[in-house]
Structure 1
Amino acid sequence: MPPQAQPATTTSISSPESEKILKNRPKASALRQQKLPAWQPILTASTVIPTVIAIGLIFIPIGIALFLASDSVFELEVDYTDCGSPCTRQIEIKEDVKGDVYLYYYLENYYQNHRRYVKSRTDQQYYGDILNVKDCAPFDVDPATKKPYAPCGAIANSIFNDTFSLTYSDTLPVLVPVTTEGVIWDVDKDKKFKNPTIPAGQTLCSVFSGTVKPPNWQVDPCTNGGFENVDFIIWMRTAALPNFRKLWRIVNKEKVGNADFTNGLPKGTYSLTVINNYPVKSFGGRKKFIISTTSWAGGKNSFLGIAYLVVGSLAILLGVVFIIIHVKFGHSMSELSNVNGMDH
């Protein structure tokens, strides 16, 4: 008998390349191998139609609530763009304005979101590092004195500087009391805008003495609260759209003489006096003074309520259309199962 052949033995020689491949090979886990269980919904008429109609039934009540909330807000606008300085406008409020009353100024066609405008500021200076003007060009250093501007930057230089006073003149003329409490956010007041530390025996103006006020400012910032000035903080919160309003003051709930403002603004005749300093005609803008209240949904803006109503109505309309199509052309589940059985 021929000798039995011996099985050949193979010797595996591992190379650095093969070890590297094995080392970098992903683990055979369900996550890495994309073998996790998945759910893929099957869209049928019995699931799509109730879902679309349910969306409509949910959106319509929300839209009605938002629209009614917006409609309950009192808002009165006074355009004073073409008025002189001082400018006086008569305002007639025909019914009591109850609740918190907010006073705004409104600017139109003013692009505070321009890239170069938004970047021209240095937050470190507003934290108290008064000589830090690194990102404030072109309003960083005064060309004449070589001193840094404080506050620096294009936003600070263009601060809105119209002033307002509202007088209730139904009986004896009484100035409507206003307050800055609640106008700015706590994070702005406590963290983002802080005056430099005042050494013992000095004043805020002595701390600002090594700087100069921005070119368009009429008063020195140290005489008006410095970096902690409410109007300055409000202006530095740039708007995203070209037409915007900014909160100026809130009516203080108190009695002044014969006038009672504890519940808001009583009905009657008011006189608005504006020191009209801020130029807007060069860029085709307009200015308004706005008296407004708020609701649980915010200010007076019916867009969101109308949007919910439109989407809800379209959803119900589509649901009805889907029902008609399904009844006329659709197939039942039993019919579909029979078709699947005939395929086999």
Structure 2
Amino acid sequence: MAPETKSRKPANTAFKQQRLKAWQPILTPKTVLPTFFIIGIIFAPLELQIDYTFCDSLSPVPADALGAEPIFSDTPARFITSSFPDDSQIKVSWAKIIKLLPPKRNPTGDKAVWNCLIRFTLPETLKPPVFMYYRLTNFYQNHRRYVKSFDAEQLKGKAVPANTIKAGNCKPMDVGEDGKIIYPCGLIANSQFNDTLFDPVLRVSPSGAQNVTYTFSNESIAWPSDKEKYKKTQYSLDQIRPPLDWVARYPNGTYTEEFPPPDIETDEHFQVWMRTAGLPDFRKLWGKNENQEMINGDYQ
């Protein structure tokens, strides 16, 4: 008599025989588009966008040449974009004033430029996280020469020799006339966005709070995958020089012990800029606050 063997046939149940009832929706424009619109409305962020491009030419010139008493005027409505439900409460004005550049961009402490002061009303309290972006238009970071104008090994901290830099993609921002290597080399780094955005200060609020600074952090604004691409340079100071558009930040246009090259491993504004945009109109993250409400009121 043959030994009895156990059957490997699955049990005759709906689950094991794949007879469970299933719903297979048919996706059509009539069903998909309303769903997208509803989700977009639910998760639409509150946004206030102020274009200060013409602040220097349209805002009044203060009587005091040093700008001690700025004169504010209403910002034209065409420079203001808002997604708040009630736009009538939003008031924006601007003025210009002469101030010294911040230490990072003014190492000698003697360079002064016109600053644009913006006052705006925040009609509603913003729950965290709150983000600050800057936006550029007609800036073609996607140009084929521009987008590859960097040296990946140099950005990783390696002391890439001048001959290798010259043979790479950094031209014309590769090696200076003095034979020193431009660090960081390439068109992308040279054209880094260099406006300085200060944290807004709450001037007046319905609760009575005044002169309270709302702080935006520049930590964790770059993608984690991008942070891995940047390390502190191994070049010695006598091997390198700043990019042409950075020269004004450094005395005599050179790196020194007192004014060393930037630490791109920790400079997340630089890392964000180096991730090139695919379209000529784009925005990039400047800072964020993930813990504190931005209460409604008048800010500057």
Q: TM-score, normalised by structure 1?
A: 0.54
Give 2:273's aligned residue. 235
**2-side partners of 1:89 and 1:114: how far apart?**
33
In structure 2, the CA distance between the partners of 1:247 and 1:153, relative to structure 1 (3 Å rule), is same
**2-side partners of 1:215 and 1:107: how far apart?**
21
Give 1:246's aligned residue. 284
Give 1:195's aligned residue. 232
Alpha carbons 2:128, 2:290 under 8 Å: kept: no
- 1:141 corresponds, among 159, 175, 185, to 175
Gaps of 5+ in 1: 1-49, 198-205, 254-261, 272-344
Give 2:110's aligned residue. none
- 1:77 corresponds, among 32, 49, 57, to 49
The one of the two structures with greater contact order (alpha-carbon pairs below 8 A, sep at least 6) is 1
Deviation string 1:2-55 (CA, Å, 9 cap, x unpaired) is xxxxxxxxxxxxxxxxxxxxxxxxxxxxxxxxxxxxxxxxxxxxxxxx986x52
In structure 2, the CA distance between the partners of 1:101 and 1:87, relative to structure 1 (3 Å rule), is same
Shift of 1:250: 0.5
1:219 to 2:256 alignment? no
Aligned residues with identical type, % of pairs:
33
Shift of 1:118: 1.2
Alpha carbons 1:130, 1:150 under 8 Å: kept: no
Alpha carbons 2:133, 2:283 under 8 Å: kept: yes
**1-side partners of 2:215 and 2:40: how far apart?**
31
Alpha carbons 2:133, 2:284 under 8 Å: kept: yes
- 1:153 corresponds, among 163, 186, 190, to 186
**2-side partners of 1:244 and 1:164: how far apart?**
17
User: Secondary structure in 2 aligned to 1:98?
Assistant: coil
Give the partner amino acid of 1:247: L
In structure 2, the CA distance between the partners of 1:249 and 1:242, relative to structure 1 (3 Å rule), is same
User: Secondary structure in 2 aligned to 1:117?
Assistant: helix
- 1:55 corresponds, among 14, 28, 49, to 28
Give 2:223's aligned residue. 185
Matches within 5 A, 1:265-280: 265-271=294-300
**2-side partners of 1:226 and 1:61: how far apart?**
45
Shift of 1:252: 5.4
Give the partner amino acid of 2:249: V
Alpha carbons 2:136, 2:283 under 8 Å: kept: yes
Deviation string 1:265-306 (CA, Å, 9 cap, x unpaired) is 1000111xxxxxxxxxxxxxxxxxxxxxxxxxxxxxxxxxxx
Query: Which is richer in helix?
Result: 1
Alpha carbons 2:132, 2:288 under 8 Å: kept: yes
Matches within 5 A, 1:281-300: none
In structure 2, the CA distance between the partners of 1:147 and 1:219, relative to structure 1 (3 Å rule), is same
User: Secondary structure in 2 aligned to 1:65?
Assistant: helix
Shift of 1:56: 4.4
Give 1:104's aligned residue. 133
**2-side partners of 1:232 and 1:101: how far apart?**
21
**2-side partners of 1:98 and 1:104: how far apart?**
17
**2-side partners of 1:265 and 1:242: how far apart?**
31
Alpha carbons 2:220, 2:268 under 8 Å: kept: no
Give 2:236's aligned residue. 207
Q: CA RMSD in A?
A: 2.3
Give 1:130's aligned residue. 159
Shift of 1:112: 0.7
**2-side partners of 1:242 and 1:252: how far apart?**
29
Q: TM-score, normalised by structure 2?
A: 0.62
**2-side partners of 1:60 and 1:187: how far apart?**
33
**1-side partners of 2:125 and 2:181: how far apart?**
50
Give the partner amino acid of 2:48: L
